[in-house]
Structure 1
Amino acid sequence: MTIDVVAAERFVHANARVLDRHRLAALRGRPADPVLTALRAYRNSDGGFGHALEPDVRTPDSETTCALHALEVLAEVGALGDDMVAPTVDWLAANDVDGGVPFVLPGAAAYPHGPWMVPTPGGSHLTFGIVGVLAAADLEHPWIARATEWCWDKLERPDELNAYWVKYALVFLDAVVDTARAAAVIDGFRPLLDEQGSVPVPGGTADERLTALTLSPHPGSRSRALFTDDQLEVDLDRMARGQHEDGGWTFDWLGWSPGQSAEWRGIVTLRALSALSLNGRISV
């Protein structure tokens, strides 16, 4: 199955944000400094990130989804030692609700946002992702310890876990130090997966689901134990078939504005190139 890498790169250069064009260059081995410069444009004086860094919440103010996205970018380019990280954790600690962080802050309602981007009670699944990413950072902070305990506590009640809770819980479980405890929890997720290794997204579009590669993109990670080689190969084939004639990939959740849709297409195209490269289908 042929993947047109040149067309994908042209799509990114034609359509993606400056940040994501620099991320593409870093994926190809170029220095990370331009990524960090572009990321700083989304940073606020309170230490958090906003300005639609996460395209579905378009407030200029700092948001938890944007903090996670920023940390993911820093991890991607090996820059979790950057001086942006500690103030971001301070900001997250300041927005702690019960050990975890909220999904969306109330101020986002005053700006364009996806219809699902609304506040929910208590800490959210984003906490798993944030703590999982920070596990690779050389940073000691009281909130990280508190949030880690929040994550373990939530995982003692797996009936609360829907698709995105599973996705970000796996980020956490792939990263935490306690290997045996993590492996046991991961194994308990098996009943949540269908025969393709996917989890449907409740309340999403008709075909929206988190597939094996979305749930476990990295070869050799603990979460790969949930999936068979056949499931992963089928999902890689699906991803390869997903390239559009314009060279890019698209997403299966709701496209609710032209700007949001264009930005997400750039991001998911970059994700597809990264996943296909990590899993041996292409070389970028």
Structure 2
Amino acid sequence: MNTLSRAENYLHLHGRLIDRLRFEAMFAGGSRERVLDLLSVYQNPDGGYGNALEPDLRGSASQPEPVSMAFWILDELGELNIARVRAACDYLLGITAKDGGVPWVLPSARSTPRAFWWEEAPDDPPGNLLITGPIAALLHKHGIAHPWLGPATEFCWSAVADIKETTPYEARAAVTFLNLVPDRERAEAEFARLREAILATVTFDPDAGGDAHFPLDYAPVPLRLPLFEQEVLDRHLDALAASQSDEGGWSANWPMWTPVVEHEWGGYLTMARLKTLKAYGRLDVT
């Protein structure tokens, strides 16, 4: 069995329906409409997303991170310019902090089952680049105009400008924002300033265990920004392909705090790894 066939088998054994339908749409000529229909079930009347679309947030209420996840799925389908995205942006506008950014997590998470790293939010949480940056980046990529985007973009520029030393998740969010924001001169200047600080957060040993953040986590598709040499990317693409499990999937390198999330994350990450291999021309999709 080739990579795709093994992954399809893994998804049938472990993956959520949404990830199985995403596989069919991307690799087997399946219907994108079925993915859109199912994704709408995760969207709440307030326009936000919840209902464990982000597996580690088990509650039904809308939270910022599931909005980001929904937008990445819509991006993969080429369907970001639709009414439900505008409804989600309306939701974001309603929860945005005074600084223009979207909070990491909202207080409604306090009363729901969640992974321990989704710490209880303060009553008035500030904006956070980890959430705001990728969402703003995707809206810019697709040319989506919405009142939320201008202040959010300014928040991201300010947050990026404040970075000196950084963490892996913040660095990844900054790279995503700087890679897609339209003001290329400003983005490239900030990237040049931050490149060494970003690289300091990267795990370059493809065999490293634990909470490692590898080059392909920062560059799951080819970047406009010169972050990694091609030799580095090739080494990690080889390692990624080789790390497909005997069952055909890829697993997470963070704690699985309740049994169901191991399967849900496994399906989601298997789709993410396939997308990366495809983006770099490492997947035979004929």
Same fold by TM-score greater than 0.5: yes
Specify the alignment match of 1:245 in structure 2: 246
* Deviation at residue 195 of structure 1 after TM alignment: 7.9
What does residue range 41-52 of structure 1 map to in structure 2 within 5 Å?
A: 41-52=41-52
Amino acid in the other structure paired with 1:129: P
Return the letter of the residue paired with 2:73. V
The aligned amino acid for 1:140 is A
- Counterpart-to-counterpart distance in 2, 1:142 and 1:72: 20
Letter in 2 for 1:126: I
CA separation of 1:34/1:158 partners in 2, compared to 1, >3 Å: closer, same or farther? Answer: same
Tell me the residue number matched to 1:208.
211
Matched positions, count: 277
Number of the residue aligned with 2:175: 170
- Which consecutive aligned stretches of 4+ in structure 1 deviate over 6 angstroms post-superposition? none
Distance 1:197 1:165, change over 3 A: closer
Letter in 1 for 2:39: L
Code of the aligned partner of 2:61: D
Contact 1:131/1:147, CA 8 A, preserved across alignment: yes
Q: Comparing 127-136 with 156-165, which one deviates more in the overlay?
A: 156-165
Query: 1:180 is matched with which residue?
Result: 185
Measured in 2, the distance between the counterparts of 1:161 and 1:194 equals 10
Aligned Cα root-mean-square deviation (Å): 2.1
8 Å contact 1:56–1:114 — kept in the other structure?
Answer: yes
| Shift in Å, 1:65 | 0.5
CA contact (8 A) 1:47 1:90 kept: yes
Q: Percent identity?
A: 34
Paired AA for residue 24 in structure 2: A
Question: Which of 224, 227, 245 does residue 222 from structure 1 map onto?
Answer: 224
Per-residue deviation at 1:54?
A: 0.6
Alpha-carbon distance in structure 2 between the residues aligned to 1:255 and 1:24: 23
Whichever residue aligns with residue 213 of structure 2, its letter is L
Q: Which runs of 5 or more residues in structure 2 are unaligned?
A: none
Rounded Cα–Cα distance in structure 1 between residues aligned with 2:229 and 2:202 = 8
Alignment of 1:35-46 (within 5 A): 35-46=35-46
Name the CA distance, whole Å, in 2 between partners of 1:190 and 1:152.
16
Distance 1:9 1:196 in 2: 33
Map Cα deviations across residues 115-139 of structure 1 (whole Å, 9 max, x no partner): 1112264111100011011113343
1:140 positional shift? 2.0
* Secondary structure, aligned partner of 2:148: helix
CA contact (8 A) 1:58 1:111 kept: yes
Which position in structure 2 is the counterpart of 1:122?
A: 126
**Which consecutive unaligned segments of at least 5 residues does structure 1 have?**
none
Aligned residue for 2:24?
25
Conserved? CA contact 1:197–1:227, under 8 Å: no
Quote the residue 1:110 is aligned against: 111
Q: Separation in 2 of the partners of 1:193 and 1:96?
A: 27
Partner residue in 1 for 2:64? 64
- Provide the rounded CA distance (Å) in 2 between the counterparts of 1:15 and 1:145: 40
User: Are positions 1:132 and 2:134 aligned together?
Assistant: no
Instruction: Give the structure-2-normalised TM-score.
Output: 0.91
